[in-house]
A and B are shown apart, each in its own frame.
Chain A
Amino acid sequence: MLNCKQVAHQASDYVDRNVNGWQRFGMVVHLFICKHCRRFVQHVRITRDFMGKREHEVASEEEVKKVMKGIKKPE
């Protein structure tokens, strides 16, 4: 049976569904009995989903101008 340390190390793979059937089964059994690991895995999931929902970081005007200057350069 997995211990908490192993569950914590596999938490991202678990929430991303990058584990095989046996690994998943081991995680599910452990999470059923361990509230600390349930919380930890939930934090990984919240962090991942939160980052996916944030606004896209855009380049500054200066950065865009610099690129456009390179595009307009005669060959």
Chain B
Amino acid sequence: MEDTTPPLDLEKLKQQDHASFEQLVALYHRQLVAVARAIIGDSLAEEVVQEGWVSVYRALPKFEGRSAVKTWLYTIISNEAKTRLRKEKRIVALEDLGGDDDGYLSDDRFNAVGHWKNPAPDWHLDSPDQLLEEEHLQKCIDHTVSILPDQQKAVFILRDIEQQALSEICNILDVTDSYVRVLLHRARLKLMQVIDRYQETGEC
């Protein structure tokens, strides 16, 4: 991942240095809220993360660096959200994995024997670097990610943006490996749909 921000100073963080902590918050707050939202739902996610940051701050002097800081953060927030979920006795509905798969791979794109009837269009921008140069496309992508269903969004952020291992994601969200893989594929398909449209029309 290309990151223009200065690297985190772990020693300063362990000393609870405020400037370093602010940097940590800036880097991970939104991603942590997305993860909390997937576990406990929208209404309590911000509050859980807010409380989670206090726990993180207090625990920093004891951070031993056995895992990456971001994995440690996700684990703390996920534990906070799960504890809160039990306390509130809330049930957050999982997405329905049956039925409509993803739109992008709907039945009308394939013929009766499962071969493409309506294949994916050619992309003239056909490398990650070329896509990165398209400013308007970045806005389309940001918007699409922002409106992904909560669990899809959390899985997508954790895997494709934060590059967390599948097993870590299962632990963080308390879901199965196959469920994570289905959600990830669906999220990617939604983005591919946006990229298809952008390549054809120059619009979202």
Contacts and interface: CB of A to CB of B under 8 A. Distances in A.
Contacts of B4: 55
A49 B181 CA distance: 16
A43 B128 CA distance: 10
A73 B166 CA distance: 37
Interface in B47-71: 50-51, 53-54, 57
A3 to B, nearest CB: 3
A29 interface: no
Interface in A45-70: 46-59, 63-64, 66-68, 70
A20 interface: no
A42 B28 CA distance: 30
Contact of A56 (B101, B114, B156, B161): B161
Contacts of B197: none
Contacts of B181: 12-13, 16, 18
Interface string A1-18: 001111011011100101
Contact of A71 (B21, B127, B185, B195): B21
Interface residues of B, number: 52
In this complex, the member of B115, B122, B126, B132 whose beta carbon has the largest number of chain A beta carbons within 10 angstroms is B115
Given A39-B122, A46-B128, A52-B163, A67 B50 contact: yes
B192 interface: yes
Nearest to B104: A8
Nearest to B57: A71
B27 A56 contact: yes
Contacts of B5: 56, 58
Contact of B131 (A5, A50, A58): A50
Contacts of B160: 48, 51-52
Contacts of A68: 18, 21-22, 25
A49 B27 CA distance: 20
Nearest to B191: A47
Interface of B: 1-5, 18, 21-22, 25-31, 50-51, 53-54, 57, 101, 105, 110, 113-116, 119-120, 122-123, 126-129, 131-132, 138, 141-142, 156, 160-161, 163, 166, 181, 184-185, 188, 191-192, 195
Interface of A: 3-6, 8-9, 11-13, 16, 18, 36-37, 39-40, 42-44, 46-59, 63-64, 66-68, 70-71
12 contacts: A3-B110, A5-B115, A9-B101, A12-B181, A12-B185, A37-B116, A46-B131, A47-B191, A52-B161, A57-B30, A63-B30, A70-B51
